[in-house]
Amino acid sequence: MEDLYETKFDPETYLNEFYLMTGKNRRFASFMLCQLSQTFSSGKYKGKRLIEIGTGPTIHTLISASAHFEEIVVSDYAEVNRREVEKWLRDEEGCFNWNRHIQFACDVEGRSRTPAVVKETLRQKIKHVLKCDVNLENPFQPLTVEPADCIISSLCLEAACKDREAYRRSLEAVVGLLQPGGVLVMIGDLSETFYTVGDQRFPVVSLSQEFIEDTLCELGMSVQHFNRQKLTNTEDRSDIEANFYLVAHKE
């Protein structure tokens, strides 16, 4: 599955198909950005280090959180995705335009920050773009990464793992990167077995809310919030039933 993402995943097609903030894509983006804003605007979650696991070629999940952490580490398995993030960090010509997502988040937050400030904050605080493999006990092997006060992971583990047991092991590895008392924010899909990017099909581990919550509990996590958004008619690009958003504390 890892080789599939290294050889067949096209970040430009992915971004244009899923992140243009139009039609059905806007509904998912709005759900996610509103949830993230509610989580981080409270000021309850803050600290030194935020790690994102499975960033993909995106930065939108960090918009609200960026105001509350001193430094951010982003990571992905695929080199093409890491390069896409680095292009945005350097503001290179041809990088994806995240202005609509940033403006939406600023509006939801009451315009306490301008889009220009958000972009500057992200570019200053993202200190590292690292390779990670969530199927390893240490996803950053051979590096040892300082434990985080917060971890965000979006649409990653279910796509990176071959079955539920592998998902459980990967989630255990991710939880191991958290400080005691740290917070895990996860965004993902329920009852999905595949999605497509262009003509390429990618397998996904089918998950239920019960399985996710039970697994987190077994790993010493306390789920504080679990919200879901039901989806219909995904135009044969996926068989997803719903998106989910959760917040869990490490006990």
- Reading across the β-sheet that carries 126-131, which strands appear in turn? 126-131, 69-76, 47-53, 148-154, 178-190, 242-250, 221-230
DSSP state string for 108-134 = HTTSSS-HHHHHHHHHHHEEEEEE--T
Instruction: Give per-residue pLDDT as tens, 3-16.
Output: 899 999 999 999 99
* 91 annotated as belonging to a binding site for a ligand: no
User: From first to last of its 251 residues, what are the pLDDT tens digits of the chain?
Assistant: 568 999 999 999 999 999 998 887 888 999 999 999 999 998 999 999 999 999 999 999 999 999 999 999 999 999 999 999 999 999 999 999 999 999 999 999 987 899 999 999 999 999 999 999 999 999 999 999 999 999 999 999 999 999 999 999 999 999 999 999 999 999 999 999 999 999 999 999 999 999 999 999 999 999 999 999 998 766 678 999 999 999 999 98
Hey, which bits of 159-241 come out as E strands? 178-190, 194-197, 200-203, 221-230
pTM of the model: 0.96
Question: Looking at the 3D structure of the chain, how many domains does it have?
Answer: 1
Element (H, E) at 246: strand 242-250
* 245 annotated as belonging to a binding site for a ligand: no
Contacting residues for 199 by C-beta, under 8 A, at least 6 apart: none
Q: Which domain holds residue 81?
A: 2-250
* 19 annotated as belonging to a binding site for a ligand: yes
Q: Please say whether the beta carbons of 221 and 189 come within 8 A.
A: no
Whether a cis peptide bond, with omega within 30° of 0, leads into 142 is yes
* 134 annotated as belonging to a binding site for a ligand: yes
Q: pLDDT value at position 24?
A: 76
> Across-strand partners of 89?
none
* 5 annotated as belonging to a binding site for a ligand: no
- CATH number of the domain bearing residue 81: 3.40.50.150
**Cα(53)–Cα(36) distance, integer angstroms:** 16
Q: pLDDT value at position 82?
A: 98
